[in-house]
Amino acid sequence: MRQAKEPVGSGAVIGWLVLAALAPGAAHLRAGWRKTGLVLISCYAVVLLALLAVSLTTDLDELAGSLTENYLLTTIVVSAALLGPAWFALIVHSFVVLRPSRLPQNGQILTGTMAGLLAVAVVVPFGLVAQFVSTYQAALNGIFQETPAEGQPAPAAQDKPEDPWAGRQRVNILLLGGDADDNRIGVRTDSMNLASVDVKTGNTVLFSLPRNLEDVRFRPGTPMAQRFPDGFRLPADPGGGRSDLLNSVWEYADAHPEIFGGKQHQGAKVLMETIGYTLGVKVDWYALVNMWGFARLIDAIGGVTITVEQDVVFGKYNEGLVKAGTRKLKGADAMWYARSRTFSDDFTRMRRQRCVLGAILDQADPATVLTRFNRIALATKELIRTDIPRSMLAQLVPLALKVKDAKVTSVQFVPPLINTGYPDWVKIRNVATKAIRDSERTTPAVAASASASPPAASTGSPSASPTKAPKQAAKQPTKPPTQDNNPAKGLTEGCGGAL
């Protein structure tokens, strides 16, 4: 009976093998192996229906978040490692039951060759999936810690799964760029941006703080506030420079553990507290980016297209040049564009850094990430240092996907908005409060009705130093931002057409 159902042409054998690769059991049914064929195709149908049910009943953003869980990633890797050889064996057995020996010699050679190629071909996707997922898992485990850092609360998702954010409206993550090194004590954070994200809409405000902010105030009651009650002030360096600017807070805290009762590596915690106090928000976590590791990330995504408004000179002897014009920049040129202060200043550099961030956000689309995943994962692992708990990724990934399509505005605390030498702390906090409030507006009409005078944050404002009255008197007058003078801008606004 089986022989009567066997295909007798080379084309028929190849066709049934291809069908068997797509629908396991098809070749067995054709060859008369009814029971085996029905079992194979039934199991396959059950798996497909289960996957369809998951895709229809699960929010795609939540699914993306769940794909950060270790147990699920391990399951995928193991399943791919088992299914690959199983599919290979399926093709081989399908070829055998189709009895190609009944074909002429040329037909046997042709079908045997095609069967071998097909058997190898069906293994490749499973191997790629296993390799892709294992690389992804290793990158996540290398970057994110399993447990919260000292002083951080346990992830809210464990206590209230139906509301992973425990009722809070925003998540605040401090994004830092610096010259971090494992062999160096402390780090100078030359780029400091706080991303304040609405957990419901993904609307984000990116606050950029200048590296040269002086007289930094620390949260009352903290060891640094007790050491510097009138603001962060140290004697000038021998060369006339200063080591008491905002970008030195992390390094100073790491270098003076005696301030914290002997506790080491307090720099990150102190900087988070300080910037949070300055802006009137609570900073949840930080992510420190090695700036030259960032160049490798840009190379991994194939570069970024940016409009360079005018030539940017860089290098110890001004030997480097990023020419004006719109082009795709490689990692090194993009970083020099973002970091150079030659014939420029800190505030222009902050704007260029914002433009690079905006270009990466716009151009790192899913297709690019998938096709260059291995390079991106390797670059990212070398790039980031963070205290975000591993277990929070299941909530943060869906939130990041919301941000990709949400409204992202930027506030840069640079002159003339503030005077970095004589900061108006009340104004800084009021501007931050208003920018966050405006980002929560869902329609232009609502935004237009916002009050011109934002209220001060309920936690209080950093106080002025009583010992520096003459200096404080030289400040620019405090003036709440209005609709005609709104410092909140689009992330790529003013970037000369950066994509």
Contacts 24+ apart (CB under 8 A), 103-110: 103/8, 103/9, 103/10, 103/13, 106/10, 107/9, 107/10, 107/13, 110/10, 110/14
For the chain, the 3-state helix, strand and coil shares in percent, each to the nearest 5, are 50, 10, 35
- Give pLDDT tens digits for 290-330: 776 778 888 888 888 999 988 898 877 778 888 989 989 99
Q: What secondary structure letter does DSSP report for 101?
A: G
> Cα–Cα distances in Å, from 196 out to 173, 174, 347, 409?
7, 9, 21, 10
Distance CA 305, CA 497 (A): 10
User: Do 244 and 232 touch, CB atoms closer than 8 A?
Assistant: yes
Distance CA 346, CA 339 (A): 9
> Cα–Cα distances in Å, from 86 out to 75, 82, 107, 247, 479?
16, 6, 26, 56, 71
- Contacts of residue 312, Cβ cutoff 8 Å, sequence gap at least 6: 321, 322, 336, 337, 340, 342, 344, 352
Sheet containing strand 170-178, strands side by side: 384-386, 285-290, 170-178, 189-198, 204-209, 408-412, 489-490
Q: What is the pLDDT of residue 499?
A: 39
| Least confident segment among 148-152, 354-358, 385-389 | 148-152
Residue 125 has pLDDT above 90, yes or no: yes
| Least confident segment among 18-32, 35-49, 225-239, 381-395 | 381-395
Averaged over 409-436, what is the pLDDT? Answer: 93
Q: What is the pLDDT of residue 341?
A: 78
Peptide bond into 416 cis (omega under 30): yes
The first and second tokens of residue 143, run together, are: 């970057």
Query: For residue 153, which of 1, 282, 12 has the smallest C-alpha distance?
Result: 282
Averaged over 326-344, what is the pLDDT? Answer: 86
Residue 377 has pLDDT above 80, yes or no: no
Q: What is the pLDDT of residue 331?
A: 87
- Give pLDDT tens digits for 65-120: 888 899 999 999 999 999 999 999 999 999 999 999 889 999 999 999 999 999 99
pLDDT level of residue 5 (50, 70, 90 thresholds): low
Q: What secondary structure letter does DSSP report for 269?
A: H
pLDDT level of residue 217 (50, 70, 90 thresholds): very high
Q: Of the segments 102-116, 185-199, 234-248, which one has the largest average pLDDT value?
A: 102-116
- Give pLDDT tens digits for 137-175: 888 888 887 765 555 544 444 444 566 677 788 999 999
Residue 458 has pLDDT above 50, yes or no: no
Cβ neighbourhood burial of 171 (10 Å; 0-12, 13-18, 19+): buried
Give the burial string for 440-454 (b: 16+ CB within 10 Å, else e): eeeeeeeeeeeeeeb
Residue 417 has pLDDT above 80, yes or no: yes
User: Whose structure tokens read 């992510």?
Assistant: 287
Cβ neighbourhood burial of 54 (10 Å; 0-12, 13-18, 19+): exposed
Alpha carbons within 13 A on the beta-carbon side of 460: 7
How open is the CA angle 122-367-289, to the nearest 5 degrees? 120
Q: At what angle do helices 10-22 and 70-97 cross, to 10 degrees?
A: 160
Q: How far apart are the first and last CA of the chain?
A: 66
Distance CA 61, CA 398 (A): 5
Mean pLDDT of the chain: 81
User: Whose structure tokens read 């190629």?
Assistant: 117
Q: What is the pLDDT of residue 370?
A: 66
The secondary structure element, H or E, covering residue 50 is: helix 34-57
User: Whose structure tokens read 């971090």?
Assistant: 180
Is pLDDT larger for residue 47 or for residue 368? 47
Q: What secondary structure letter does DSSP report for 479?
A: -
Q: What is the pLDDT of residue 293?
A: 72
Averaged over 372-401, what is the pLDDT? Answer: 82
SS3 of 53, please? helix
> Cα–Cα distances in Å, from 60 out to 76, 133, 397?
18, 18, 11
pLDDT level of residue 496 (50, 70, 90 thresholds): low
Distance CA 228, CA 463 (A): 12
The secondary structure element, H or E, covering residue 209 is: strand 204-209
User: Do 382 and 331 touch, CB atoms closer than 8 A?
Assistant: no
